[in-house]
Amino acid sequence: MKRYLCLLLALCFCLVSLSGCGSQGKGSQGTSISDAAGSDYGYDYDGAVENTELPGGISADAVVIAADPTRKLIYTAEVSIETEAYETDYSALVQSVKAVGGYVSNEEVRGAVPQHYGDVGRNSYMEARIPTDKFEEFMQTLNEVGRITSRSMNVDDVTDEYYDVEARIEMLEKRYAKFEEHMERATEMSDIIELENEMSQILYELDVLKGSKRHIDNRIEYSTVRIELREVVKAEAVTASEGNLGSRAGDAFLNTLQGMGVFFEDLFVFLVGALPVLIILGVLAVVILFLVRRSAKKRKKNRPANGLPQAPEVIAPQPESAAEKEPEQSETQLPEKKE
């Protein structure tokens, strides 16, 4: 009985231990799920956002600037916006860029003001450079402009590259200082020339590395935001073609005549511009035609007057008739035997 009681207690202890391990495993699993959820929304280990894309708007939690100042991060974002009030929203975008101390580094506008049914409207492609400390504030202001159809953001961690460039600059500067000390003590002209060459090479490498560092600093201090503003044309914002059928047909006929006039004007300008080439081609054509005709005349003179001699007619042999064959057979009879 005691043995069964000990076995029962041991079994209960094992069950309690297994349940504890299971609860601990569930807790660790919950942590991994939350970490995965955080990674889905673009959060990495240092609190930065990477490859975040949430179409339809930008939430406040989607833009997080890294709190660690030692990390060198480059922020870039792309936003597509649709608007029915193009001019108002375009002005709002430009004012938002200026309000945070940024500037527009590149811009392209396509299309025209819609006036008739079927016009596609205008598209504006803008590349704005925004101070990184104002990046989050600027991204929030875009929610107030038109309707966001797509948005993506990326963070490029260039910490290793940045500090590697700094280390190389420091190493080259120390090396250059040592060469300066050797230059002060050098007395031979050959040594001086060799040291000058080495120092010139170091200065060239330093200039390249410092330029690269300035470029990285600029990209770190100013984030890049590419914005596409697309105009949506409402039906009531444009009008159909005015006038009756006759006036519209007349306008179309006049437009066709004007187009033909422009075409012939352009053709005349093209011919005048290409006149030297056309003259050369014309001279070549005349020379080739003259040579062809001359060759044809020579071949005509070499022919006989009555033309080429005719080939003699070949008479095909006629089959012999049966009547003509009979005498030949009689003549070829065997001689008679003597009695």
Highest mean pLDDT among 151-155, 291-295, 306-310: 151-155
Which region among 52-61, 72-81, 298-307 has the lowest average model confidence (pLDDT)?
52-61
| 21 has a pLDDT exceeding 50 | no
Which is more confident, 216 or 61? Answer: 216
| Among the listed residues 45, 35, 36, the one whose alpha carbon sits nearest the alpha carbon of residue 73 | 45
pLDDT for res 70 = 79
Judge if pTM exceeds 0.75.
no
Which is more confident, 280 or 320? Answer: 280
pLDDT for res 144 = 87
Residue 121: which residues within 8 A CB-CB, separation 6 or more?
86, 111, 113, 114, 230, 231, 232, 233
What is the C-alpha to C-alpha distance for residues 140 and 125, in angstroms, rounded to an integer?
19
| 128 has a pLDDT exceeding 90 | yes
Q: Where are the alpha helices (DSSP H) in 66-124?
A: 86-99
Angle of helix 275-301 versus helix 245-273 axis, rounded to 10 = 70
Residue 176: which residues within 8 A CB-CB, separation 6 or more?
199, 202, 203, 206
Stretch 6-22: mean pLDDT:
48
Question: Are 134 and 102 a contacting pair, CB within 8 Å?
Answer: yes
What is the C-alpha to C-alpha distance for residues 189 and 196, in angstroms, rounded to an integer?
11
Stretch 283-292: mean pLDDT:
86
Q: Using DSSP, state whether 63 is helix, strand or coil.
A: coil
Residue 155: which residues within 8 A CB-CB, separation 6 or more?
44, 48, 49, 50, 66, 73, 74, 75, 76
Query: How confident is residue 311, by pLDDT bands cut at 50, 70 and 90?
Result: low
pLDDT for res 31 = 33
Stretch 121-150: mean pLDDT:
90
Query: How confident is residue 131, by pLDDT bands cut at 50, 70 and 90?
Result: very high
| Tens-digit pLDDT profile for residues 186-206 | 888 888 899 999 999 999 999
Question: Are 220 and 69 a contacting pair, CB within 8 Å?
Answer: no
| Among the listed residues 76, 52, 131, 73, the one whose alpha carbon sits nearest the alpha carbon of residue 98 | 131
Which region among 153-157, 176-180, 263-267 has the lowest average model confidence (pLDDT)?
263-267
| 79 has a pLDDT exceeding 60 | yes
Q: How many CB atoms lie under 10 A from the CB of residue 120?
A: 13
Query: How confident is residue 268, by pLDDT bands cut at 50, 70 and 90?
Result: confident
Please return the burial class of 71, using the count of CB atoms within 10 Å of its CB with bins 0-12, 13-18 and 19+: middle
Question: Are 153 and 59 a contacting pair, CB within 8 Å?
Answer: no
Which region among 55-59, 192-196, 287-291 has the lowest average model confidence (pLDDT)?
55-59
What is the C-alpha to C-alpha distance for residues 176 and 190, in angstroms, rounded to an integer?
18
Query: How confident is residue 309, by pLDDT bands cut at 50, 70 and 90?
Result: low
pLDDT for res 34 = 33
In the numeric block, the tokens 């003509």 are attached to: 324
Residue 206: which residues within 8 A CB-CB, separation 6 or more?
169, 172, 173, 176
pLDDT for res 228 = 93
pLDDT for res 285 = 87
What is the C-alpha to C-alpha distance for residues 100 and 106, in angstroms, rounded to an integer?
17
| Among the listed residues 138, 60, 72, the one whose alpha carbon sits nearest the alpha carbon of residue 104 | 138
β partners of residue 155: 75
- Report CA Rg, the chain: 48
* Average pLDDT score over the chain: 74
Q: How many CB atoms lie under 10 A from the CB of residue 15?
A: 10
| Tens-digit pLDDT profile for residues 36-50 | 333 333 334 343 444
